């Protein structure tokens, strides 16, 4: 067994060396995803986890997709062409994940982080366990960074302190599945944790920050801190790096975009910054390409206010905010932007964290003259008749393979594959994609052209403001809901707050309760201790009814009519757009107890006369 595993490791090392230029910057790609909603087509959608249970970002490696999900406490490998599960394995021991959990790939292994302060490695081919780390000082709460048989990670899910670690990924005892790996602490922060932070590989150094705005450069050879730069402001998002200028970019405080030079010796040099928006904040990872930084933030309250997207020119002094679009996005992005530079154009792709309008969006210069536009490229649809609910919040990154197929997951536990309606040749293997390098080579197939019938989905929801009595000892609360005579099901987990607004189906009675918890130590480990659950008060908001028609085509214009109760149909929306469309109408402040029906009417001219037909 030892000989076979060493041979596989050597083979992997050869492939990694031969293809080390494949993903010089994983979030910038030559692959061309769907450029618009009319070009996008859903290849498949599979529910791998469950609603409101943690599911990590995806790692696309060759023909497969890797992820970890907490509903079934397992690591999973999917066939990227079908979405089918081809391998899976349970987490070891008391391993579990919270919503900030991450996954990484490298050295022929998949790495999964746990709230029990440990990281577990699984063999990428078989998903059998390889080793598990010794215990860190807190929950592993950062993004994971793999570099040259080293894995970097940080701690501090709650509170204002944490540590940043490194471990050697080598399997030193191939005969054991539970070999304990030692970890090395590099730095400790007493003012900010490493919650949702990621170490950025810039060659000889790893750059990481805590949430208090302290940015540290770490020598990747000695694993020692080289220099620290502080912005003295809250810093919730991630860092991106521009190799051409040797500059890192991030957003801290009230939407302040910083650019900090990193010298050849790993020390920090000159810094510049510009305020992109006067209210709100950013918690995503921006992306830089060709002298421009792409980012998204909230204009105010992240739970109630819309988001914005912006493009900043960082070649000027001072930086120039080229555009800010704050009237399109229902909420803000919390992912890392994906940049496609195919066809001599630049288009940035991202998801937004909204329950109803979450999906893939893009921002691009539609004319080449700075006329930036945002478009919803793909949006999941519910099928209420069959109790299929795919819409949900989404903080996850968009991945793309060499064929331009995009992959991402959301809080409904679904994984989506979004391709293009017209086939195109794959990019050359030496061009960057957001997939990882696979140990063996395979023949890639082209996406097939798919023509779908017109579909209609209709949802009816109400917002509910929940409040509850404070437990002075609690560090957080788990919120549960019960529909009708059903059983209580977990909705979400919050911190020390005593209020939360949620969205539920209308025309259904609900009861809500909260279960407080605190942290305690058990056998030297930090674990959750739950208090007895008690009722939460619910204040219902207005009803919202939404209808969406997809794959609409064949007419010169369209009209959506709405009928309330026993009334007659009335026009509520018209469109003269052509091509394959997605048409959506939302009726806000709808009347509770009233039924709402919709119809889609197609209009075209036949022999000089306008002819209408009810399509659906």
List the domain boundaries for the chain: 204-237+239-301, 463-540, 543-614
Q: Which residue has the higher pLDDT, 495 or 84?
A: 84
Average pLDDT over residues 538-549: 89
3-state secondary structure of 350: strand
Residue 606, C-beta contacts closer than 8 angstroms, at least 6 positions apart: none
pLDDT tens by residue, 322-363: 999 999 999 999 999 999 998 778 999 999 999 889 999 999
CATH of 204-237+239-301, one of 1.10.1380.10, 2.40.128.630, 3.40.50.720, 2.130.10.10: 2.40.128.630
**What are the angstrom distances between the C-alpha of 328 and each of 278, 307, 363?**
18, 8, 11
Burial, 495: exposed, middle or buried (Cβ in 10 Å; 0-12, 13-18, 19+)?
Answer: exposed
CATH number of 463-540: 2.60.40
Average pLDDT over residues 403-425: 87
Q: How far apart are CA 200 and CA 209, in angstroms?
A: 10
Overall pTM surpassing 0.85 (yes/no): no
Find out whether 493 and 476 touch, Cβ atoms under 8 Å. Answer: yes
Name the least confident of 159-168, 233-242, 403-412, 417-426: 417-426
Specify the pairing of strand 414-420 against strand 476-483. unpaired
The pLDDT value recorded for residue 434 is 56
What do you get for the CA distance between the two ends of the chain, in Å?
A: 61
- Residue 303 confidence (pLDDT) above 70: yes
- Residue 18 confidence (pLDDT) above 60: no
pLDDT tens by residue, 590-607: 888 888 999 999 888 776
Q: Is the dihedral of CA 34, 38, 42, 43 positive or negative?
A: negative
Residue 547, C-beta contacts closer than 8 angstroms, at least 6 positions apart: 456, 457, 458, 560, 584, 585, 598
Report the range out of 95-109, 359-373, 594-608 with the highest average pLDDT: 95-109
Average pLDDT over residues 73-101: 93
pLDDT tens by residue, 458-492: 888 888 999 999 999 998 999 999 888 888 888 88
Q: How far apart are CA 209 and CA 232, in angstroms?
A: 12
Q: Share the mean pLDDT of the chain.
A: 87
């Amino acid at each position: 067994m030892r000989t076979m595993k060493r041979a596989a490791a050597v083979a992997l090392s050869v492939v990694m060396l031969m293809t080390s230029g494949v993903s010089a910057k994983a979030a910038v790609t030559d692959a061309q995803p769907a450029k618009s909603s009319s070009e996008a087509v859903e290849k498949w959608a599979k529910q791998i986890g469950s609603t409101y249970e943690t599911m990590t970002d995806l790692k696309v490696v060759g023909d497969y997709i890797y992820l970890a999900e907490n509903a079934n406490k397992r690591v999973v490998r999917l066939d990227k062409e079908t979405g089918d599960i081809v391998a899976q394995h349970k987490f070891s021991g008391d391993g579990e994940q919270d919503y900030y959990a991450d996954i990484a790939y490298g050295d022929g292994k998949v790495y999964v982080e746990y709230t029990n302060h440990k990281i577990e490695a699984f063999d990428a081919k078989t998903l059998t366990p390889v080793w598990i780390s010794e215990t860190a000082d807190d929950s592993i709460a950062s993004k994971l960074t793999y570099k040259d048989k080293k894995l970097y990670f940080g701690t501090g899910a709650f509170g204002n302190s944490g540590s940043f670690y490194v471990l050697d990924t080598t399997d030193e005892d191939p005969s054991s599945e539970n070999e304990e790996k030692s970890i090395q602490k590099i730095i400790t922060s007493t003012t900010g944790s490493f919650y949702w932070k990621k170490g950025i590989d810039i060659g000889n150094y790893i750059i990481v920050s805590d949430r208090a705005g302290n940015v540290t450069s770490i020598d990747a050879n000695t694993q020692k801190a080289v220099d620290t730069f502080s912005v003295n402001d809250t810093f919730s998002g991630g860092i991106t790096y521009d190799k051409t200028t040797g500059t890192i970019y991030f957003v801290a405080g009230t939407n302040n975009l910083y650019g900090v030079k990193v010298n050849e010796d790993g020390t920090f040099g000159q810094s510049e910054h510009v305020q992109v928006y006067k209210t709100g904040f950013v918690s995503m990872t921006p992306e830089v390409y060709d002298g421009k930084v792409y980012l998204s933030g909230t204009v105010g309250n992240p739970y109630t206010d819309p988001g914005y997207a912006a493009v900043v020119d960082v070649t000027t002094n001072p930086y120039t905010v080229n555009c800010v679009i704050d009237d399109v996005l229902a909420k803000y992005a919390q992912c890392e932007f994906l940049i496609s530079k195919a066809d001599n154009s630049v288009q940035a792709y991202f998801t937004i964290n909204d329950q109803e309008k979450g999906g893939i969006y893009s921002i691009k210069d539609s004319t080449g003259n700075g006329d930036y536009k945002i478009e919803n490229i793909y949006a999941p649809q519910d099928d209420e008749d069959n109790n299929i609910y795919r819409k949900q919040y989404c903080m996850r990154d968009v991945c793309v393979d060499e064929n331009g197929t995009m992959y991402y997951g959301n809080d409904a536990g679904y994984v989506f594959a979004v391709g293009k309606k017209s086939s195109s040749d794959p990019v050359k293997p030496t061009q960057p994609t957001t997939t990882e390098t696979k140990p063996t080579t395979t023949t890639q197939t082209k996406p097939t052209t798919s023509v779908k019938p017109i579909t209609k989905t209709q949802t009816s929801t109400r917002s509910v403001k929940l409040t509850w009595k404070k437990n002075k000892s609690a560090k957080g609360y788990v919120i549960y809901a019960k529909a009708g005579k059903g059983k209580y099901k977990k909705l979400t987990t919050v911190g020390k707050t005593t209020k939360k607004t949620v969205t539920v189906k209308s025309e259904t009675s609900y009861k809500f309760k909260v279960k407080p918890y605190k942290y305690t130590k058990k056998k030297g480990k930090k674990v959750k201790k739950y208090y007895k659950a008690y009722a939460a008060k619910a204040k219902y908001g207005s009803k919202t009814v939404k209808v969406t028609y997809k794959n609409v085509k064949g007419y010169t214009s369209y009209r959506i009519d709405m009928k309330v109760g026993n009334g007659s149909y009335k026009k509520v929306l018209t469109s003269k757009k052509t091509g394959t469309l997605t048409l959506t109408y939302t009726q806000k402040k709808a009347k509770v107890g009233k039924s709402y029906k919709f119809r889609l009417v197609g209009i075209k001219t036949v022999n000089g006369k306008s002819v209408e037909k009810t399509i659906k």
